[in-house]
Amino acid sequence: MGEGQIAAARCFSGASLSFELFPYRSRMTTANAAGGITDSAAAATAIATGRKVSNQVLSLAVPGDGAELETLLEACQRQGKATGLITTCYLTDATPAAFAAHAANRFADAGAIAWQYLNRTRPDVLLGAGATGLDDQSAAAAGYSVVTDRAALQAAVPADGMKLCGVFGWGYLPYESDGLGTLPSLAEMTAQALTVLERAPQGFFLMLEGGKIDLASHGNDIVRVIGETLGFDAAVRAVLRWAQGREGDTLVLVLADHETGGLNVLGDNGPGNVPEVAWSSGNHTESPVTLYGWGATAHLVPRVRDNTQIRAITLTPAPAPGAGIGIARAVSGQAVTSWSTVSGATYRVECAADLKAPVWQTLATLNALSARMTFVDTNATARGHGFYRLRQP
């Protein structure tokens, strides 16, 4: 999902996609360990582990000693968090596999990937299509509550300690623009996964993938690209509905592992109409992709320049209430400060000329409307310099 896929979906919908409105973004590179065009295994491994690897490798130090690299999912499990993987492709496909398995070859070791899911990492939620050793029987034998269609998924009653596996067809879910029949959409899978994972007392990690954006792009199929991108955006909207008011303890990142097809939008034909586009390839490209961030540590997103940096900002602890998370100078010279807050709490913004013998002057007393608060110091230009802090009266 590169800029072309996003632009095409925007043209068709007639409005910005939900994640385009996130407050933070950056552009990042996606090359594999050799500096060449990545495949999904190497790209997902870079995101999950912070290390570059060779194409087809899943979370192993290759090149290197071949040792297992701890993934984001495994790191979150070590912290006591619940975990989940969702995809519109088969569950053992490269992107989810890089988060919950280790293999030298994403294709040859697919059966071993399924075994690691069910017997080793055991994510609390697994939703996608079956294949290569992961089917409803094997998941049930491993202690998962198994569902195979939309109705059963939506009827599943979340419970403490529940492990839920949805096996929806075989290989890939249908394209959303072709109709899903009795199978769930990515947004429906996401909403139900959140009802299971939100019960975890230490929080959770969820990776959800609109994997068929890539498949449609390989075929230069713009209609299906638009349908899958809008379906992915609907899943992001489901996440944002759940996370509303939780900017202080929840981080939402939207990104692509790579761009496929070299898609460019040449003309916007208006809402409801497919835009005029051009493709330069049927394969992955080296085009940088955009990272979008919302929530707890999203202020770190503008620092990201490569996909190996995703892991670090994901594992960075959220700032405590009252902590400063950003300061900038407006065009007018005013100082713009951002703070982590508790929604509904009252805070006092203070300023001092120096920190040697500070005399703190109250600039404003404000009520926080959410977990983030921004204050503009209209006298900053006259002061020239100063230090700020946020205090509760």
Residues annotated as catalytic are 40
3-class DSSP assignment, residue 300:
helix
Q: Are 327 and 337 in contact (CB under 8 A)?
A: yes
Q: What is the distance between the alpha carbons of residues 348 and 389, in angstroms, rounded to a whole number?
A: 8
N-to-C CA span, the chain = 47
Residue 368 phi, psi (nearest 5): -75, 130
Q: Are 388 and 348 in contact (CB under 8 A)?
A: no
Residue 176 phi, psi (nearest 5): -60, -35
Q: Which of 13, 7, 23 is nearest to 253 (CA)?
A: 23
Q: Are 32 and 57 in contact (CB under 8 A)?
A: no
Torsion of CA 304, 305, 306, 308, to 10 degrees: -30
3-state helix, strand, coil in the chain (%, to 5): 30, 25, 40
Q: What is the distance between the alpha carbons of residues 136 and 113, in angstroms, rounded to a whole number?
A: 16
User: Residue with structure tokens 């034909």?
Assistant: 269
Strands lying side by side in the sheet with 251-254: 24-28, 289-295, 251-254
Which tokens hold the place of 228? 């899958």
179-184's contacts with Cβ under 8 Å and 24+ in sequence apart are 180/150, 182/149, 182/150, 182/151, 183/149, 183/150, 184/127, 184/149, 184/150, 184/153, 184/154
Q: What is the distance between the alpha carbons of residues 299 and 317, in angstroms, rounded to a whole number?
A: 12
Q: What is the distance between the alpha carbons of residues 364 and 105, in angstroms, rounded to a whole number?
A: 58
Which tokens hold the place of 240? 């944002």
